Structure 1
Amino acid sequence: MTNPIVNLFAFLSLLLFVHCDGSDPAIPEDHRFYETMMVDGRARTYLLNLPPDYYKTNEDLPLVIGLHGTGGNAGQFERDYGLTEKANSAGFIVVYPEGIRSNGVLGVRTWNAGRCCDFAMKNNIDDVLFIRTLIDKLVSTFRVDAKRVYVTGMSNGGMMAYRLACEMPEKIAAIAAVSSTMVVASPCHPSRPVPVLHMHSVLDAKVPYNGGKGIGGYYFPPVDSVLGAWSAANGCAVRDEIRNDDDRFKLTEWLNCTDDVMIQYYLTRDGGHAWPGGQRSGNWGDTPSTVINATDLLWEFFKQFEAQ
């Protein structure tokens, strides 16, 4: 018989994926919108930020989708990782969708990334449909360049980014996953190559970079095997070439891939289960790496690519 105390501990441990902030932002400004849309019979929410010069030009702009981790929400992602500040300075649109709330007391938000996590996975929430519908809505409503739509995510959000790259690569120009891995329930056979940026810490015990049992008792595949699978899917001729390896971080690249895509993998020696260069998410959150800045790196990576 399962020990209820152990179950409770595992459930509460899930909150360490990202600090749980139950308050949803209310944004009245004309450049920022917190909105609800119905998808698959469920109310889904998201926070959208337009850069300061959005209404001054007629140019179609890139869109970056930021997916929070378990226990996070749109406001938490924006507050802790600095993506809105980057969007405002670089001139792209950013949207923070929110995972579905659990029906428990804490209302923890999660994404159904395949074999993780929690309420969204157990209830087979169609988060792929949600993000697909959201992209279509934003492209039709705002000046979004449909060929420059990118997805990034922290922890469970990064796992969701991998699933999206597998199942709807025609909508996504590139992904950046942080402190996560790929946990899709079905084999990943993307219809086109997808550039991948992955950032992780050797000290991450919640989603171990070398695989194994992590937070909540989930099994997480090794990052190397995930990127090896993407190397094969992307047809990369140059595989796991080490570009930097010192006491700060190791950078591995997969190059000469189909359609000029590439894969980059930053493995830091410091930090933990956290967004490098960001803020610590809550009192129990891990200390972020200081040797790289995930927000800066992901934008430099994204802007090289357009969807084919």
Structure 2
Amino acid sequence: MKARLSRFARGLAALLPAMLGFLFWSAPAAAAPCQINCLTPGDYSITTLHGGLLRNYLVHVPASYDGSRAVPLLLDYHGFSKDAANERQWSGQLAESDKRGFIAVWPNGLVLSWNAYGCCFLDNALNIDDVSFSRAVIAAMKGRANIDANRVFVTGISNGGGMAQRMACEAADVVRAAVSVSYPLNRENCTPAKPISVWEIAGTADETIGYYGGTPPLPLLPNNLLGVPLGVQGARESLAAWKRILGCSDTLHREQLPDGTRYAGSRFEEYRGCGGVRTGLVTIVNGEHVLYNGYTELGSDPDKAPIDVAPFIWDRFFTM
């Protein structure tokens, strides 16, 4: 009897390391929420039916992702007349995804546009529910990857920046923070489900969506005519609107940015006394509409701003 027990003990001792190894190896997979059709590192183009319409979005899963820990999620919206592939190419967020380990998504708007506040084209004129579509994308990503629900972010440029602003107003329950490049909130009020941090990056020489705002060119014309923004809120007025919406204190933090070659006076301003969130404005003096450095589609000069927008966003705003 003692001999049998001794052999059993020796066998159990021999199996114990393998059993522990199995348990520790299995734990990360069990902890991840995804069970089927899970995303692995690589690039995806996903088409889905939403609201009776075929919608599409591009996804990049960085090489560092293995599903064992929750990672941030970013939605990066393209500008009017562009598409997800264009934003993926130029915004800089693809490189940041690989560097920082978050999953990046570039949604496609219908007819190359988004239904932001007062812009743009058919998506706006037809009142397409792009907030609902974006929520569905976020939910889909949470189902197929280990996403940190407390670190879901949105950004975008021009019309896409307007879409990021709208998400801050209407999807704050699932989005932690938003950064708009070259588009204001474009309204005086909204009612986020919870406090949310919002920033804008804007150039003073922007001739597409003016930094100082503008009114329709002729009397009696509306600010928005069939999705075309004839009048637009100024960047500083947008900041003031967010200050009111978030109930921020009057204390404004100010910081000068590098001058670069022709950007003397560029600055970062931010309200920090907003009940645990922040809102601010990055002003690029002499900056034009597209502020992504390296972008050459609208001209040959790749120097667009004294900051590199994508890493600046993650270093200052989407802190991890």
Please classify the TM superposition score into its range, dividing by the shorter chain length. 0.7 to 0.9
Other-structure match for 1:231: 243
Of structures 1 and 2, the larger Rg is shown by 2
- Quote the offset at 1:227 in angstroms: 1.2
Q: Contact between 1:70 and 1:156, CA under 8 Å: does it hold in 2?
A: yes
- Quote the offset at 1:283 in angstroms: 4.0
- Quote the offset at 1:85 in angstroms: 0.8
Q: Contact between 1:64 and 1:152, CA under 8 Å: does it hold in 2?
A: yes
Q: Contact between 2:168 and 2:198, CA under 8 Å: does it hold in 1?
A: no
Aligned partners of 1:181 and 1:161: how far apart in 2? 10
- Quote the offset at 1:289 in angstroms: 2.3
- CA deviations 1:97-134 (Å, max 9, x no partner) are 01002xxxxxxx10001321101011111101100111
Cα–Cα, structure 1 residues 40 and 277, in superposed 2: closer, same or farther, change >3 Å? same
The answer on 1:189 being equivalent to 2:191 is: yes
Other-structure match for 2:48: 37
Secondary structure of the equivalent of 2:268? strand
Aligned partners of 1:214 and 1:289: how far apart in 2? 28
Letter in 1 for 2:134: I
Give the one of 175, 182, 193 matched to 2:178: 175
Letter in 1 for 2:286: D
Alpha-carbon RMSD across the aligned residues, in angstroms, is: 2.3
Alignment of 1:137-286 (within 5 A): 137-183=140-186, 187-213=189-215, 218-244=230-256, 247-258=264-275, 260-280=276-296, 282-283=297-298
Q: TM-score, normalization: structure 1?
A: 0.80
- Worse overlay, 234-243 or 174-183: 234-243
Aligned partners of 1:125 and 1:285: how far apart in 2? 35
Cα–Cα, structure 1 residues 298 and 189, in superposed 2: closer, same or farther, change >3 Å? same
Q: Contact between 2:90 and 2:292, CA under 8 Å: does it hold in 1?
A: no
Secondary structure of the equivalent of 2:167? helix
- Quote the offset at 1:277 in angstroms: 2.4
Higher relative contact order (CA 8 A, sep 6+): 1
Q: Structure 1 unaligned runs (5+)?
A: 1-28, 102-108
Cα–Cα, structure 1 residues 37 and 130, in superposed 2: closer, same or farther, change >3 Å? same
- Quote the offset at 1:217 in angstroms: 5.4
Number of aligned residue pairs: 266
The answer on 1:121 being equivalent to 2:124 is: yes
The answer on 1:86 being equivalent to 2:96 is: yes
- Worse overlay, 150-159 or 30-39: 30-39
Cα–Cα, structure 1 residues 97 and 241, in superposed 2: closer, same or farther, change >3 Å? same
Secondary structure of the equivalent of 2:173? helix
Aligned partners of 1:213 and 1:299: how far apart in 2? 34
Letter in 2 for 1:255: R
Aligned partners of 1:240 and 1:289: how far apart in 2? 26
- CA deviations 1:226-277 (Å, max 9, x no partner) are 111111222211444432277151221111211x211221111233000242
The answer on 1:289 being equivalent to 2:291 is: no
- Quote the offset at 1:81 in angstroms: 1.8
Q: Contact between 1:169 and 1:191, CA under 8 Å: does it hold in 2?
A: yes
- Quote the offset at 1:285 in angstroms: 8.9
Aligned partners of 1:295 and 1:207: how far apart in 2? 20
Aligned partners of 2:317 and 2:65: how far apart in 1? 20
Other-structure match for 1:6: none
Q: Contact between 2:177 and 2:318, CA under 8 Å: does it hold in 1?
A: no
